[in-house]
Amino acid sequence: MKLRIHLILLRIFGAMPRRVRRILVRLGSPKYTVGAICIVQREDGQILLVKQSYGKRWGTPGGLAKRHELPQDAAVRETKEEVNLKIRLISEAVVVVEPIPHRVDVVYLAQAFEPAFIEQVRPSSPEIERAEWFNLSELPEMQIETVAALRALGRSGALDISAANLPN
């Protein structure tokens, strides 16, 4: 009986105009925010972490993508806004989906576009208190999102995290 009702509902749905079907799907689907995260790595292997003014743990440059903004553009923009560093993305995007907070993070490995300016990295946004370089073997206490981003880049093969002291 359940199967029959299901099939009838699917036929009714299929007979609806495409625009109505799309609206119904959007109304019934969970809404997710899309963020872009950059793990910026120097030539010596150290990574850039930032301490936000509203948190206790270290994170990475990044933030929410604006409406209709590509994640890679958001990653570059956020890093420039937060630590005044021009970067180039050197890995393919890796996606981390967090169902409970309804968040999708698109993670990239990046390098400074102009390595000469890498030592001049400093906060350039009110939301960032500190910006520092860390060895993967000496990481501070990090945000959950940062740990997930590092693990995702490690699984993808873009970043060797074997020396990283990541929490379980």
pLDDT tens per residue across span 125-167: 889 999 999 999 999 999 999 999 999 999 999 999 999 988 8
CB-based contacts of 32, cutoff 8 Å, min separation 6 = 97, 102, 103, 104
Work out the percent of the chain whose per-residue pLDDT is above 70.
Answer: 99
Reported pTM: 0.81
The string of pLDDT tens digits covering residues 71-104 is 999 999 999 999 999 999 999 999 999 888 888 9
Pairing status of strand 47-52 against strand 33-40: unpaired
User: How far is Cα 28 from Cα 22, in angstroms, rounded to an integer?
Assistant: 10
Find the length of the chain: 168
Per-residue pLDDT tens over the stretch 9-34: 878 888 889 898 888 877 877 788 89
What's the CATH number for 31-156? 3.90.79.10
